[in-house]
Amino acid sequence: MLKFNLNSWQIKKEVVLLNLVKVIVKEVITIKKRLVIEIVLIILSGLCLYFVTTHNESWYRQDIGRIVSLKDGRRQMVKDEYNNRDYQTKQNLKIKLLNGKYQGKKIKLTNTYSASRAFDQKLHLGQEIFVNLHHENGQLVAAFAYSKRDTLLLMLIWIILVLLYLTMRFKGLRTVTSVTANFIIFLLFVKLDVNLNLTYFFWLFAASALIFTALSLILIMGFNRQCLVTFSSIVIGTSLGLAIGYLALWLTDNRGVHYEALDMATQSPEQLFFAATLIGLLGAVMDAATDIVVTLFELKESKPDISRRQLFLSGRQVGRAILGPLINVLFLIFFAETFAMAVLYLRTGNTFAYTFNWTMSLGVVQSLISGIGISLVIPTASLLSAYVLGGKTDVSA
């Protein structure tokens, strides 16, 4: 802090002035010093992470090899019955094993990649890959399993954390705490689901949805009346939305909806679909509900004699503005996920209608049910806030 005394100012101008300059210079240096230390720490942590993730082979139980030599074979054209042309190339490579029993040993293996690369990889010199080792006629043989991707994944997470810190200091890092906490709970519930193996496991994920919502809201707004109102409106609106969606599907006998087309389903696909829809729309619904509730509570504080009706109408006004964007956010996420499969269907001689029914319709149904949920949360949140905040009497908490 810069401090100086008026008395001494009058007595010894020069000395004080000199001191002042000294203090300022010192301040600037300390600020700069902190900044430099910060930047150095950030860069150092990045380098550390990079070094560790590129030298962590011994942490893995599966064998990892680095490609030390590589030769591409001749490109061969392949044509299928739909006149799709593709090219296949065989790669002969030698890897040096980096961990496990055979560490240091060099083995040859082959890999085939196509120009389209739907289910194969083009390998590069110096790249590290996971391999499956087995013995064949007494000889050690390796087969390519999958690429090593941990460095890239962790570095990208690091970059985002750094960006958040640089823009908003520790406040920025706090935005990811709710996501991280939810992710851990999500994995716990998946574990619970597999271990319990319930017949009606949808309700397990419905319970997880309640926990996600409560946790996120408490982290965002703290535990108070606003939080309770938001929570109740989300629960009511979302349940209503899902119930309407379920009813509509039941009334039409699921016509045109193929649950069995759900990717990677190992349990009842219908329940899995509804669980996925419920969790998928939670974020958007929370966004809408908090926006409305927070605005209405602020409105009530600035205008204590506002009527319930006016509060409700203002809530709808807020909801109106975010309704479209939120539905679009979810729609784009759900629809873009189906692209790869849809292209595969279309290129192999399937009609538009067939492709749509078997690859995209589930995504569209998911978006529609989410849209219904979001639309219902808006009046629910407005009504509940208006009711809780009361009429002309002041009930500020």
Partner 1 sequence: MSALSLLTLILLILMLLVGGKHGLSSFISVVLNFGILFLTVILIAGGFPPLGVSLFAGICILAITIYMGNSDETATNTAFLATIIVMLVMLVIIIPLDQIAQVQGFGNEQSEEIEAFNLLIGIKFESLLIATTVLSTLGAIAEAAIAVASGLEELIAQQNSITLSQLYKSGRTIGFQIMGMTFNTLFFGMFGGDLALFVLLYKLNATFGYYLNSKIFVGECLAVLFSALAVILVIWITIYLTGRKLNIKRS
Site residues (CB under 8 A) for partner 1, limited to 2-41:
none
Q: Which is nearer to partner 1, 107 or 217 (CB)?
A: 217
Q: Which of 26, 32, 55, 85 binds partner 1 (CB under 8 A)?
A: 85
Q: Which of 194, 198, 243, 395 binds partner 1 (CB under 8 A)?
A: 194
| 80 is an interface residue for partner 1 by CB under 8 A | yes
Sign of CA dihedral 334, 338, 340, 346: negative
> Tokens 């010199």 appear where?
125
**Non-local CB neighbours of 371 within 8 Å, separated by 6+ positions:** 327, 330, 331
Q: Which of 111, 290, 295, 314 binds partner 1 (CB under 8 A)?
A: 290
Q: Which is nearer to partner 1, 18 or 48 (CB)?
A: 48
CA distances from 250 to 245, 254, 268, 319 (A): 9, 6, 16, 29
Per-residue x/- track, 211-250, partner 1 (CB under 8 A): -x---x---x-----------------------xx--xx-
Q: Which is nearer to partner 1, 10 or 170 (CB)?
A: 170
Q: Which of 89, 329, 390, 391 binds partner 1 (CB under 8 A)?
A: 329
| Footprint on residues 335-364 left by partner 1 (CB under 8 A) | 335-337, 339-344, 346-348, 352, 356, 360-361, 364
DSSP 201: T
Least CB distance to partner 1 at residue 257 (A): 5
Asked if residues 193 and 272 have their Cβ atoms less than 8 Å apart, the reply is no
Asked if residues 169 and 38 have their Cβ atoms less than 8 Å apart, the reply is no
| 282 is an interface residue for partner 1 by CB under 8 A | yes
Least CB distance to partner 1 at residue 219 (A): 9
Least CB distance to partner 1 at residue 394 (A): 26
Least CB distance to partner 1 at residue 159 (A): 8
Angle, helices 269-302 vs 202-221, to 10°: value is 20
Q: Which is nearer to partner 1, 62 or 307 (CB)?
A: 62
Closest CA to 72 of 106, 111, 108, 107: 111
Interface region with partner 1, contact rule CB under 8 A, candidates 18-26, 27-35, 297-305, 372-380 = 372-380
What is the pairing mode between strands 63-72 and 128-136?
A: antiparallel
| Footprint on residues 148-187 left by partner 1 (CB under 8 A) | 148-150, 152-154, 156-157, 159-160, 163-164, 167-168, 171-172, 174-176, 178-179, 182-183, 186-187
What is the pairing mode between strands 128-136 and 139-147?
A: antiparallel
Helix, strand, coil in percent for the chain, rounding step 5:
65, 15, 20
| AA letter at 105 | K
Size of the site for partner 1 (CB under 8 A): 131
Return phi, psi of residue 125, to 5°: -60, 135
| Footprint on residues 108-147 left by partner 1 (CB under 8 A) | 114-119, 121-122, 130, 146-147
Q: Which of 16, 50, 70, 86 binds partner 1 (CB under 8 A)?
A: 86
Q: Residue 171's Cα: distance from chain center in Å?
A: 19
Least CB distance to partner 1 at residue 3 (A): 26
Q: Which is nearer to partner 1, 91 or 277 (CB)?
A: 277
- 3 state DSSP class of 303: coil
Q: Which is nearer to partner 1, 355 or 389 (CB)?
A: 355
Q: Which is nearer to partner 1, 8 or 84 (CB)?
A: 84
Q: Which is nearer to partner 1, 25 or 173 (CB)?
A: 173
Least CB distance to partner 1 at residue 284 (A): 5
The set of long-range contacts for 343-352, using a CB threshold of 8 Å and a minimum separation of 24, is 344/118, 347/82, 347/84, 348/80, 348/82, 348/84, 349/81, 349/82
Least CB distance to partner 1 at residue 175 (A): 4
CA dist 192 and 204 (Å) reads 9
CA dist 188 and 191 (Å) reads 5
